[in-house]
Chain A
Amino acid sequence: MAHAQLSPRNIPDRLEGRGARLLKSWEALLIVVATVIFLGNSFASPYFLDPWNLSDATFNFTEKAMIAFAMALVIISGEIDLSVASIIALASTAMGYAVQLGVDTPVLVAIGLGVGLVCGAVNGLLITGLGLPSIVVTIGTMSLFRGLSFIILGDQAFTGYPESFAWFGQGYVWWVFSFEFTFFVLLAVAYGVLLHKTNFGRAVYAIGNNQTAALFSGVRVARVKFTLFLLTGLMAGLASICLTSRLGSTRPSIALGWELEVVTMVVLGGVNILGGSGTILGVVLAALIMGMVTFGFGLLNVPGIVMSIFIGLLLISVIALPILWRRARRRLAH
């Protein structure tokens, strides 16, 4: 979404120190928010500070966070992918279909990831190959992918997943650490390294800040973007495996509306929706915050839709507050 930068930039005459920058960073604010919510929850409900309860709580963000990591890269590069939830549905439908043919777990996993990759490739080709705006393309593929699983499933459901398949969504690696949570941590590290420590990550920032300049600096813009959509598709496939395994059944309405929650998570994590900036640490913190809010409200018997109001308010206010704060400070300075 192009958005005009209309106010002149404020250019400071010297850079701030490392410590001051860290203190003022978005991540620091998120850590404060997360701590407050954690403490608030611990006081509000006696059931919050139980290792198994906390472990259960991780399930309501791990799958979304897996996608959010890849989505963060996509958004930093100045694009967006709204089709992720539909990719989950299509991948889950394909796996359910395969189960009816008597396929075993390893092949199911391959199918889930494969469908994710193919969907990602379709998005990537339309966006980089034909040069179409990603927001419209992925609104289209969002209908298309979920539409396909509606055609296959109608109002039916696939069940009967093999027992060994249940491990992805319900298995534990060690003590309270579920497979999903372990994977979430590993992916967080992997994406952190990819974005912050590699040439590829640099290229993603460069494209998000100025695509033309990136092109002239020798960044293969189209190839990087294509890879990003491929990665997002792959992550959606992985999330589909985890979710399907956890639920044990597939309906075409699976993961409905998740694309908005994933985008909310990324934006809450401090990734600029216009591209060019953001960190994986921020996304990890945003995932934890959203998970804790949902879980804490759940313990207090707050209905899901009221939580979504809170998430919506959180999304707008975390973006609005710094803007208001900066404005108030500027007014004071004058």
Chain B
Amino acid sequence: MIAKLLKNREILLVVAVVVLLALIALRFPGFVAPSNLARVYNDTSILIILALGQMAVILTRCIDLSMAANLALCGMVAAMLNAAFPGLPIPVIILAAMALGGLLGMINGTLVWKLDIPPIVVTLGTLTIYRGLIFLLTDGKWINAHEMSDTFKALPRLALAGMPVLSWLSLLMIAAMFLVMSRTPLGRAFYAVGGNPHAAIYTGIDVGRTRFFAYCLSGTLAGLSGYLWVSRYAVAYVDIAAGFELDIIAACVIGGISIAGGIGSVAGAVLGALFLGVIKNALPVINISPFAQMAISGTVIIIAVAVNARAERRKGRVILRKAEAV
């Protein structure tokens, strides 16, 4: 029973997060106070939303390196819309950001689906293109807080039943993704395509189209995150969230989503993001230079992938044991 529980990735992760929190609490009990934990969750919300989209893509054996650039472009467009038409209702801006994000995701998806270009090459290319487009749009200018309307900036912070809208939105996305992954044919298809593409074809699943939808999903979520990012930090410029694509992938890897596709869960992605979020928020508290964060997340990624790889090792029949042990 206990051995079985220990093999469950999500439970292992929960244990890891709790141990981490306990270690911090030993010296700084204030960190685990509910109000502070809620703050940490709120701070991690955007990463969670992005990790959910990346999870869908990775499940289908692809990868989306362009998410952060997509976020930056959509965030910039949202800020520009707001600066140009201050009267435009915020939901319209959010929908526009999501639609643009979805469109950018569709471009990735189409290149992967219709042209069969390896996903890593496609998103490596679109990563530089999307970020370059922000420069073309703005000439490198910033959009600062005073150019944005107050409602634009206030929405993510707005408290609803004790929690900011940003936190509620991420909870909503988690619930929605949970339903998609467990209750819809599309969710099943993500797993099937990643688990065994050939078998997926024989069961009548269009592998390319499923991947296309995964990219649409990650793009739309990146678009939503674009608005959230820009309004939360109240500034938009070319380099926002630069390098964040790696944090997103790191969250997925830590959450036990196999880069080889087919393995992973919504809970894993959320916990992986939370793990990174706790570390990021704890470093200044325990007086470690924020410069150490990068090295720590690197180490965590390596440990996580090593642990996951052991659990993932194929349990099928091994005919030639020596040959398997490369």
Contacts and interface: CB of A to CB of B under 8 A. Distances in A.
Q: Chain B interface: which size bin?
A: 35 or more
A145 B298 contact: yes
Interface stretch (A20-28, A31-39, A129-137, A179-187): A129-137
Contact of A141 (B238, B253, B302): B302
Given A212-B323, A222-B326, A308-B132, A150 B120 contact: no
A51 interface: no
Nearest to B194: A2
A144 interface: yes
Contact of B326 (A4, A153, A221, A303): A221
Given A139-B246, A312-B126, A323-B117, A146 B294 contact: yes
A130 B298 contact: no
A176 interface: no
A328 interface: no
Nearest to B122: A316
Nearest to B322: A215
B295 interface: yes
Nearest to A273: B118
Contacts of B124: 260, 263-264, 312, 315
Nearest to A133: B259
Given A154-B291, A305-B131, A308-B132, A132 B306 contact: yes
B301 A140 contact: yes
A150 B295 contact: yes
A150 B129 CA distance: 28
A148 B295 contact: yes
20 contacts: A1-B120, A126-B306, A130-B306, A131-B309, A140-B302, A143-B250, A143-B301, A144-B298, A146-B294, A147-B296, A147-B297, A150-B294, A211-B326, A221-B326, A260-B124, A305-B140, A309-B128, A313-B129, A315-B125, A316-B111
Interface of B: 61-63, 111, 115-122, 124-129, 131-133, 135-136, 140, 197-198, 201, 207, 238, 246, 249-250, 253, 259-261, 289, 291-299, 301-302, 305-306, 309, 323, 326
Given A131-B326, A267-B121, 8 more contacts: A130-B309, A136-B249, A137-B302, A142-B246, A143-B301, A260-B127, A309-B136, A313-B129
